[in-house]
Amino acid sequence: MTSPYDGLRAALAAAPVIAILRSSSATRFAEVTDTLLASGVRAAEFTLTTPGVLDALREYAADAPPGLALGAGTVITPAAAQAAVEAGATYLITPATCTDVIAEAVRLDVPVLPGAYTPTEILTAWRAGATMVKLFPAATGGPEYLKAVRAPLPDVPLVPTGGIGAADAPAYLAAGATALGIGGPLVGDACEGGSLTALTERAAAFLDGIRLR
């Protein structure tokens, strides 16, 4: 039986991108996720700051397409972690080094990608049980910072997130990123009713750039 760990790793091996869905409403999250999956992006993060997101997560997870890794983001408390997993999230992402959330994810046996920036935060998250560490905000230091951090911590899988555009993506992967967390530059206004055709085109640009690196 495939575990959540296997599912997330397989999705990121196929396309090293986690699409971050954040909006004023979760009503279009299903359509956007379906469009991303059809475009080749196989991991999506439903952020808990979005109103109605747990209902949307529960409804989508009940009949989630095969090959999709469906997670919850902006998880900052153990209670939120439990609620997200109960709603169908198969992995959790935090914006900071929330060791209590990491511990809850370990207890629930789901992958967790805590946010961290400094080497101390990264190592703290990793030692606490992180599956991968979300390097956030990535654009502050760029690919060179990622490369510098990886030199003393080569065994920690890093997922830079925040301010990464299509033109930047190959450089982060070349610097050693395991995957990339991409929000606005990929999703754009699709969750707010924007064009799904344009979303398909943006996804193609990201994935084409990655494949050509």
Amino acid (1-letter code) at residue 79: A
Residue 158 phi/psi, 5° resolution? -110, 140
Amino acid (1-letter code) at residue 103: A
Report how far Cα 17 is from the mean position of its chain's Cα atoms: 7
What gap in Å lies between CA 161 and CA 139, rounded to an integer?
A: 8
Which residues carry out catalysis? 45, 134
What gap in Å lies between CA 73 and CA 54, rounded to an integer?
A: 11
Report how far Cα 33 is from the mean position of its chain's Cα atoms: 13
Q: Which two structure tokens, joined as six digits, stand for 56?
A: 């949307």
What gap in Å lies between CA 199 and CA 201, rounded to an integer?
A: 5
Beta bridge partners of 159: 134
Q: How far apart are the first and last CA of the chain?
A: 34
